[in-house]
Amino acid sequence: MTTSSGSAPIPGRQLITSRVHGSEPRFVGYPQPPAGAPNVVMVVLDDVGFAQLGCFGATLETPNIDRLAEQGLRYNRFHVTSVCSSTRAALHTGRNHHAVGMGVTEEAALGFPGYTGRIPPSAAMLARLLRDAGYNTMSVGKWHLTPKHEYSSAGPFHRWPLGMGFERFYGFLGAETSQWAPELVRDNTQVDPPRTPEEGYHLTEDLVDESIRMIQDQQQAEARKPFFLHLATGAAHAPHQVPPEWVTPYEGQFDDGWEVWRERVFERQLAAGVVPPETLLTERPSWVPDWDGLPPEQRRLFARYMEVFAGFMTHTDHHLGRLFDHLDERGIADDTLVMVLSDNGASAEGGVTGTLNEAAGWLGHQEDVEASIARSDEIGGHGAYNHYPFGWAWAGNTPLRLWKRHAWLGGVRTPLVVRWGARVADPGGVRGQFCHAVDLFSTILDAAGVPVPETVDGITQQPVDGTSMLASFTEPDVAEHRRLQYFEMMGSRGLYQDGWKATTNFVPNQFNERDAIPGSHDFATDRWSLFDLTHDFSEATDLADEHPDVVKRLEAMWWAEAGRHQVLPLFEFPDSMAHMHPGPFPAPHRVSYTPGGGPIQDSQLPSLFGGFELSAEVVVPETGAEGILAAIGDAHGGWGCYLLDGVPVAAFAMLDGLVRVAGTEPLAPGRHRIGVQYVPGAEPLARVLVDGVECAAAPLPGLFFFPNLSTAAVGMFIGRDRGLPLCRDYRPPFAFTGELLRVDIEGGNPEARADEETRLRAALGSD
């Protein structure tokens, strides 16, 4: 039986006497990978569609990834799960995503086996197996494999990267984050970015800097030891944010619209051989607007969204080029297996018209186009959290249908570039074997000569679903290793077998897509379409009516695979959300905070839905005071309380704009209690109080919920702010200049609590 448990124990009995002379020395062995085991660099891009790299036909400039493809291989039938967490789980475990509890993203972890959001110890990660075999293991960038309740400084940490087999980590835990002001973790500790947005900080540059530094440190310490670097960029997930000089070269390049750009890309794909010559370009569906029918102002706005995205992609490629150059400069490029892929197809989460606040899409909030036009100069900068319209997502997956979160090829087929020096038989070649994210786990272990152990830490490992693709590196026409693969995401279903693919017309109930896309809204009414992918690369021609027997067989096989891999019960939004997996503790009712610490994750705050009260105890010096008392989020979603020239202010950055509630008089020197209340009801209200007396109030419409906080893992700061501000009143850190003794936050309706206190005092007074 093979096991994985780190250093090998010393076998047999050992002779020990009272003196060194006569005692038998023995030494703990160190794991050594087989001779020739390569370094491994896995680059996981985010939300990059099949047609959004230059080497896959895009007009976007990605010369460094293109150079990698010229030196290696492009796989044009590589498939993923269609969302972030699920694909990453498949990559790291070699198992299908439901089989390891990652049926959807971590934000929607449920109390069903396939959806817990908790990878079991029976599926030890790739990093753990490589580490136990003698590799150094490093993870940089997006993680998104830890339940959100576990993001805080209290952990638990065993599902953070260092608990799953990585020895080093620098990046962010959540689904997305600001490129200008991210929430960063080093190993198991929350840290501030090394520079501010005003100083020119950008996340992609920082992540590549850290990657290079980790490789340099490891190689200078012990170059004979191979390493595994997992680099997962925030790009090109929304927000699409990039310095303006990277956008300028693309100005005007998308004015012809998504149909024309898509046709141009398709011609490039055919010329490059990245799609077969008989491929059909699927038609524009009814739910993607006709570009020529749009008003000129909207065309300019929508083109600007794409210009920024293009600059974002080229900026990402530039910094990845620095990493690839570093491998060359160290002389280890030929000994390093490099893989570049995307976790799912292009994202349509910007909606029909795009958005300057991507968080709005999580609530199905349709942004006012005229307001966006007026702010188009902000797209890509510090003042926007932007995402392009879904016409560009459709074009970004050329020549395929649909996009992220769907089982159609536009959601599950993405670019894969592989380079491994002389191990590639025909540099620049294209491979057409059907393959899947689960296969990369087995491929890397095969290349490293590391077997999958039967047990890890005494726990029997569950079967690996992936199969090595290594033979295809040297044999272009090797037989397809993956003959069967199911797909399921948020109810959208598909199954591939021996060239056939069946796909349902179910439309998931998110991002208002049911208002635009025709299809089934109930699993009982799903229609299965059928495609012969051997001759129909783009899933263009539905053969279901011609081969009903094949459809029936594939549908039955899908149900069998669903039962085998824990897919059931199928995810249904919003009903499934009633079964959310709880954290280790329920939300606290009342918590006290003091200044000086790191961010307090929003999952650890009292619930704000039913109202809340913040109370800050301060001492104002004779010279007056100003600065942050408490702040979470930024202008794209968040709230906080501060003194501005001594005047208490509460700011609520909502989807519809800023609600600012300010007093009129600066606080006098001395001790004060500053309060902020949110009172829900038919006419929800925000109040600011000083020493228990209301000094300002304003309506606070809408649901008191900030979706970008729940996806980006933003934390609350006490006594200072970080990154981007809530509003233009201040610039972070805007540290409090008086003495901040404590901040208390209590959940629940403040008015109801006041009534209870009145009744309690009355009861006590009658005794």
- Whole-prediction pTM value? 0.95
Which amino acid would we find at residue 97? H
The region, left, alpha or beta by phi > 0 then psi within -120 to 50, assigned to residue 539 is left
Average pLDDT score over the chain: 93
CA quadruple 636, 640, 641, 645: dihedral sign: negative
364 phi and psi, to 5 degrees?
70, 25
Beta-bridged to residue 413, according to DSSP, are 79
pLDDT in tens, 458-490: 999 999 999 999 999 999 999 999 999 999 999
Dump pLDDT digits (tens) for 130-183: 999 999 999 999 999 999 889 999 999 999 999 999 999 999 999 999 999 999
As a whole number of angstroms, the distance between CA 709 and CA 158 comes to 23
Residues 181-216: pLDDT tens digits? Answer: 999 999 999 999 999 999 999 999 999 999 999 999
The H helix count followed by the E strand count for the chain is 15, 31
Q: Quick one: pLDDT at residue 317? A: 98
CB 418 within 8 A of CB 473: yes
- The answer to whether residues 301 and 376 touch, using CB atoms and an 8 Å cutoff, is yes
Give the three-class secondary structure for 81: coil
SS3 506: strand
CA 350, CA 358: separation in Å to the nearest integer?
Answer: 6
Q: Strand pairing of 168-172 and 459-460?
A: unpaired
Residues of the chain with pLDDT under 70: 1-2, 5-10, 361-365, 656, 702-713, 753-767
Query: Are 400 and 283 within 8 A, CB to CB?
Result: no
Beta carbons within 10 angstroms of residue 496's beta carbon: 24
Quick one: which of 128, 97, 32 has its CA closest to 459?
Answer: 128
Q: At what angle do helices 296-329 and 203-222 cross, to 10 degrees?
A: 10
- Beta strands (DSSP E) in 318-477 are 336-342, 416-419, 429-431, 435-436, 455-456, 459-460
Cα 277 → chain centroid: 35
Distances (CA, A) of 51 to 81, 259, 328, 399: 18, 13, 28, 8
Q: How far apart are CA 204 and CA 213, in angstroms?
A: 14
431 in helix, strand or coil?
Answer: strand
Give the DSSP letter of residue 277.
Answer: T
Residue-wise pLDDT for 695-744, tens only, equals: 999 999 865 555 445 555 579 999 999 999 999 999 999 999 999 999 99
- Say how far apart CA 721 and CA 652 lie, in whole Å: 15
pLDDT at position 457 = 97
According to DSSP H, which parts of 535-688 are helical?
Answer: 548-564
